Amino acid sequence: MEHYYWFALKSVPQVGNVTFLRLLAHFGSPERALKATAEELAQVKGLGPAARESLGFFDWRPAAERECERLIACGASVVDILSERYPKPLMEIPDPPPFLFVRGDLKGNEPAVALVGSRRASQYGLCTATRLARDLARCQVTVVSGMARGIDTAAHWGAVKGGGRSIAVLGCGIDVVYPPENQALCEAVAASGALVSEFPLGTEPLAENFPRRNRIISAISRGVVVVEAGEKSGSLITARYALEQGREVFAVPGNVTLTGSRGANGLIKEGAKLVERVEDILEELRLPCPDAEPDAPPQFSLTPQEAELYVLLCRGALQIDEIIVQSALSPGEVSATLLSLELKGAVVQLPGKHFSVV
């Protein structure tokens, strides 16, 4: 397999991203680095004795063979740092991954904006993330997020339903679906954009993986928008990485009485650009919107049942069980009517079976 030696070199203890790239630069290929003599390794600038010893004695073959077998089984691909498909902005950070596991189509350079936020998002946050992602997608801007519950999920769905591209950077192996309820979303993102991970195949979604994932989310994006976040939200880590990497930071203002708004509101206090609509992002990043058209009032005819639910949802997004309680329809009628409204483009489904008018 083409990347057999890439997997092998990455599996060697004491060989992290920085050391991997140093060896690649010195020897020209991972294979050549793995087969180098002790004398040749001693000539590599900055390569310590522990790494040299590990390269000389570690048996990397089982790990490389296992990774190749898993890659074939899951149907993913590998994009290495020498490829034209490798995201060029990612090469600007101190420790870019030597290669990425990818499902879908990864492009080397494309305008992208990250939307991140709370896993326990409010209806306001979910609606805002969906709307911003949809509008960015319609402006041919790729939406980047982390496939987590809440804001991330809403952002990916918004981009998909806006007919655009989305990139999901995972905190687990590319062959692991997390959270499990996002199976359909993963397939939709892979079909129109890309799923990306730097972690070996089969890696579980461990807590320590997510900060590392966050640095990639911010690195491949021109700006990071925090839609909703508490004071200890992981999305604030992404915002911090963005600042360190020279990316723009944006935040959507939230209800000052809610603890879930304190992180985003705090960013605005510290100088993050306040976002109310997609134009706030595009103007700051100087991104054109060639195909965007002003939003027109929705034009569609409604049946009496559709009209009842549409009027109900005009007051605010509701979860399907709340719709059933507040309407005069049976559960089956509500499901069928909501589907009909979705097909007409009148409402959009948000994560957690919430619905909102478009």
Query: What was the pLDDT predicted at 292?
Result: 54
State the pLDDT at residue 63. Answer: 95
Same domain (yes/no): 151, 271: yes
> Same structural domain for residues 13 and 47?
yes
The pLDDT tens digits for 261-306 are 899 999 999 999 999 999 999 999 999 886 555 444 456 677 878 8
Is position 100 within any domain? Answer: no
**Residue pair 54/48 in contact by the 8 Å Cβ criterion:** no
Q: How far is CA 249 from the centre of its chain?
A: 16
pLDDT, position 357 = 81
Share of the chain above pLDDT 70, in %: 97
pLDDT of residue 216: 97
Q: Is residue 32 part of a domain?
A: yes
Q: Are residues 252 and 330 in the same domain?
A: no
Same domain, 124 and 252: yes
Under 8 Å between Cβ of 74 and 175:
yes
Task: Give yes or no: residues 279 and 144 share one domain.
Answer: yes
Same domain, 177 and 248: yes
Q: What is the reported pLDDT for 329?
A: 82
pLDDT reported for residue 137: 95
**Of the residues 285, 313, 343, the one at which a domain ends:** 285
State pLDDT tens for residues 133-191. 999 999 999 999 999 999 999 999 999 999 999 999 999 999 999 999 999 999 999 99
One domain for residues 220 and 154: yes
Q: What is the pTM of this model?
A: 0.84
Residues paired with residue 225 on neighbouring β-strands, in sequence order: 115, 250
Instruction: Give domain status of residue 107, yes or no.
Output: no
Examine residue 298 and state whether it is found in any structural domain, yes or no: no
Report pLDDT for 293.
Answer: 53
- Tell which of 21, 52, 74 closes a domain: 74
Last residue of a domain, one of 240, 257, 285: 285
Enclosing H/E stretch for 77: strand 77-80
Regions in the chain scoring below 70 on pLDDT: 290-300
Domain that holds residue 23: 1-74
| Amino acid found at 343 | L
Q: Is residue 65 part of a domain?
A: yes
In CATH, what number is assigned to the domain containing residue 70? 1.10.150
Q: Which among 127, 311, 104 has a CA at the least distance from the CA of 187? A: 104
Q: Do both 211 and 339 map to the same domain?
A: no
Q: How many separate domains does the chain show?
A: 3
The pLDDT, as a whole number, for residue 181 is: 94
The pLDDT of residue 174: 96
The identity of residue 88, as a single letter, is K
The reply to whether 88 falls in a domain is no
308 and 344 inside one domain: yes
Q: What CATH number is associated with residue 349? A: 1.10.10.10
Radius of gyration of the chain from its Cα atoms, rounded to whole angstroms: 23
- What pLDDT score was predicted for residue 291? 59
The reply to whether 313 and 258 lie within a common domain is no
Percent composition of the chain: helix, strand, coil (DSSP 3-state, to 5): 50, 15, 40
